[in-house]
Amino acid sequence: MTTSPDLNAAGFDTLGLAAPLLAALADVGYETPSPIQAACIPVLLAGHDLLGEAQTGTGKTAAFALPLLQKIDLKRAVPQALILTPTRELAIQVAEALQKYAHHMPGFHVLPIYGGQSMVVQLRALSRGTHVIVGTPGRVMDHLERKSLVLNNLSMLVLDEADEMLRMGFIDDVKWILEHTPAERQTALFSATMPDVIRRVAREHLREPQEIKIRSATSTVVTTSQSYCQTHSGQKLEALTRILEVEDDFDAAIVFVRTKTATVEIADKLEARGYSVAALNGDLTQGLREQVIERLKAGTIDIVVATDVAARGLDVARISHVIN
Ligand code: AMP
């Protein structure tokens, strides 16, 4: 399949995001919004409630985190947004993502609160003031009951992985929290599936939500054999070079990475290990991009390290391996 190169896909700057957030996105190297981001960001910025059906890996964290951050008044260190997650790991991960996207928002504070962590530590952190809380339902409820967490100023509430919260038995806690937050808040509910119970929560607690459904629409041709390799993040480069060494039918490969910084980093490292490699990302002009593809076709390079966007529609017959 050959499609025209899609380097002009609308960027984050068309979605209405403020300069500090665009700067943070440039820092992390995201080139274009994922479909769920393109769909959700304008809706949330406009103040609508949202019911999103999407799985992890679609970029849903940034889809709610960016508009949420845009609405934060940094001058008031009171919880203005609450994100509920099913697990402590996800709470920490979401808090870290917020911190990263708020890199150019001086004085911004986000606090993860979850069961298992010392109450003393949490009470102290809460008393110091924070703009956003990311927490698991049980512990959030606990703090609300103790009045160590006051949500009078809450303007945004996100339920992340609602079906997981249901599966883990938190749904009554979630409903209780929904009932104990200001009714005029904006609410976004994300769930990978939409069982009836979740739909009912949405019907009762969301106001005319816009529904956004993102299917993870990646399909692979049947003649492709697929395998995966489990490794630690620190050993990914080792694993990659081992795979390249042991694959008998290796001719040329395309390696997909998430960010344009990573394309250059990995390409440099592979080159240092003796491979003929080039990076392919959205920073390249159309002319340079075509040059890379011509060189891959002609066999002067064997590996292209690319972002998804930059490699869209790429059609090179000699590619024997694709590595994600
Ligand atoms: P999530 O679905 O929110 O768990 O995100 C999955 C991964 O995609 C995370 O590692 C994000 O850092 C990354 N990511 C999110 N949005 C983008 C984007 N627009 N471009 C590149 N990577 C992204």
Residue whose tokens read 């997650």: 85
Query: pTM score, two decimals?
Result: 0.72
Same domain for 34 and 164? Answer: yes
Angle formed by the axes of helices 35-45 and 60-70, nearest 10°: 20
Q: Is the CB of 87 under 6 A from ligand 1?
A: no
Q: Contact, 154 vs 17, CB < 8 A?
A: no
* Residue 218 within any structural domain of the chain: no
Q: Is residue 220 part of a domain?
A: no
- Would you say the CB of residue 233 lies under 6 angstroms from ligand 1? no
Cβ atoms within 10 Å, residue 106 = 8
Q: Are residues 258 and 183 in the same domain?
A: no
What residues make up the domain containing 144?
2-213
Residue 183 Cα to ligand 1 middle (Å) = 31
Last residue of a domain, which of 213, 243, 261?
213
| 208 and 272 housed in the same domain | no
109 within domain boundaries: yes
Any domain includes 153: yes
Residues 167 and 297 occupy one common structural domain: no
Question: Is the residue at 226 inside a domain?
Answer: no
Tokens 């209405």 sit on residue: 16
The enclosing domain of 281 has a CATH number of: 3.40.50.300
Number of domains in the chain: 2
Instruction: Say whether both 23 and 100 belong to one domain.
Output: yes
User: What does each of the 324 residues of the chain score in pLDDT, given as a tens digit?
Assistant: 333 334 334 789 999 999 999 999 999 999 899 999 999 999 999 999 999 999 888 999 999 999 999 999 999 999 999 999 999 999 999 999 999 999 999 999 999 999 988 999 999 999 999 999 999 999 999 999 999 999 999 999 999 999 999 999 999 999 999 999 999 999 999 999 999 999 999 999 999 999 999 876 454 455 678 888 888 888 888 888 888 888 878 889 999 998 889 999 999 888 888 888 999 988 888 888 888 888 898 888 999 999 877 777 677 888 888 898
Pocket of ligand 1 contains residue 112 by CB under 6 Å: no
Whether 136 contacts 92, CB under 8 Å: no
